Each structure stands twice: as C-alpha cells, then as structure tokens.
A = this chain, B = another copy of it.
C-alpha cells in the first residue's frame, strides 16, 4: 500500500539549503512546495495553508510578528525549523529544531514534527491547548488523521528509512550526524539546559524513527566520552567530572524509552481488530 505524499511548505531563503533539503527529501513520501522566493511568504502560507501537511522553515525567514499572527489565526502545522539549536521556541510547542548541517536527519525530524503535533493535539484539553502553544481553533486532528490513517497519533514509521535498511554509505552519514547531535547535547548539557533539550529531542527523534538499536546509542555515548577523556588527559586536565555525563545518557534513554512506550498501540486496538471479520486471514498470512 503506497503512502500518500505529504505536502510540505518549504520556506527556505538560502538556495544551497533549498537544494540540499530537496536532495535529502527526494525519495519517500514528501512533496516540497517552494514558498521561499515569494515576496511575502507569510501571506502565501496564510492563504494556502490548508493545502499543506507540514512546514519546513529556515529560522528568521518569517518574522516573529508573522508567526504570532498565523498562530493566533489557528494556522499552525507540524513544523521543522532549520537553524541554530538554542532551545528557543519560534512558532508553537510541538515544533522540532534541526541544525542546518544535520540534514541527514531531516526526514526523521519531519516524522517527529508530525507525530509530536498529532500527539500533543490529542492529549491537550481545550483549556490547556493554548498553554501548550496550540491554538484551540485549529482542527489539526481531523485533517491530519484523515491523511495519515490509522489511529492518528500512531504515526507510522517508514521501514525504508530504518537504519538497517539503508545502504552502508547512508548508514555512515546518518551515524556521523547523530554523533554530532550527541556531541552538541553533551557540550550544552550542564551549561545550557534549553539548548541541550532540543539537541536531545533531535537525537531521540532520529533514533526512534530510524529504529536504531539501543546499544548503538550507548556506543555513541561511550565513544564520545572516551574521546573527551583522552583529550583532557592529553592536556593534563582533571577528567573526573566526565562521569557526570552519564546523566545525559540516562536522560536520552529515559526519553527514548517513553517515546517507545507511548507508541505501543493500546491493547483494545488489537482486540477490536480481531473482532473484525476477515482479520484472521490477514493474521495467518503474516505468521
């Protein structure tokens, strides 16, 4: 069953960035609609927003005023913001941030943006929705549920982009990008919690959507700590404090674990499915 393409409003000014994003999303289920060269991209987005499933936004392309206007009109969508990962929120609470040089993780970030958006929308009560950065007006769930199918919140992962199904060079590139994100996370972990948190989320999103085994995450952590250790030893500096970085790994594992936990379909889902006639045949075929 072929998945429908997701239509992404692309708001990128930098031509190189635009080309690179196009390359990284060339396969799979994305269709990019380029609004980056419009004279007033915010106005075009406002006018055509119901033709889009998600937004890819270069930080700074839309003014804070424009974003607030869209937000207040209820015109929010799942959003990936490309730019420095500082921990700052630009548009709404379910947005996902990715550094411009980490595009190998772009498709996973888009998956994460959609999944977070759907989940947050489902969880939020009307009175807490606006606190959570989602206006009450917008009927996100009806719209996206319809396109994305089954249960809405349980946004499907794409097995073609699972780590084990990538080519060897693709795997290498993705790992390198993940290491870079993990390094950002460690570096900001104690001195800039908000930035660390966005790096953590980016890392966890990619690990989840690429279905990377947990041991690989532990390996990335250990390799980086070893590297820091050697560097400090070489410089004759104390390195006891490196043990505190274990807190960062725990944090990552706890987030990842909770993400998996919440992605398990609820048990009644299976029971209802079993009750549907014809299901037994499908099950037999799969077993």
- B151 touching A274, Cβ below 8 Å: no
- B286 touching A272, Cβ below 8 Å: yes
Q: How often does this chain occur in the complex, in copies? A: 2
B contact residues around A283 at 8 Å (CB): 149-151
> What 7 pairs across the A-B complex have the smallest Cβ distances?
A260-B260, A253-B253, A257-B257, A214-B258, A246-B246, A276-B282, A276-B278
What are 19 sample pairs from A and B whose C-beta atoms fall under 8 A apart?
Answer: A1-B275, A149-B274, A149-B283, A159-B266, A214-B254, A214-B257, A214-B261, A218-B254, A243-B243, A246-B246, A246-B247, A250-B250, A260-B264, A272-B285, A276-B278, A276-B281, A276-B282, A278-B278, A278-B279
Given A145-B287, A257-B253, A287-B145, check contact A1 B243 (CB 8 Å).
no
- A276 touching B274, Cβ below 8 Å: no
B contact residues around A159 at 8 Å (CB): 266-268
B contact residues around A254 at 8 Å (CB): 214-215, 217-218, 253
Say whether A11 faces chain B, with CB atoms less than 8 Å apart: no
B contact residues around A145 at 8 Å (CB): 287
**Min CB–CB distance A88 → chain B (angstroms):** 25
CB-contacts of A212-267 with B (<8 A): 213-215, 217-218, 243-244, 246-247, 249-250, 253-254, 256-258, 260-261, 263-267
CB-contacts of A139-187 with B (<8 A): 145, 149-152, 156-159
> Roughly how many angstroms separate A215 CA and B260 CA in the complex, as a whole number?
14
Residue in B closest to A218 when the chains form the complex, CB atoms:
B254
**Min CB–CB distance A130 → chain B (angstroms):** 24
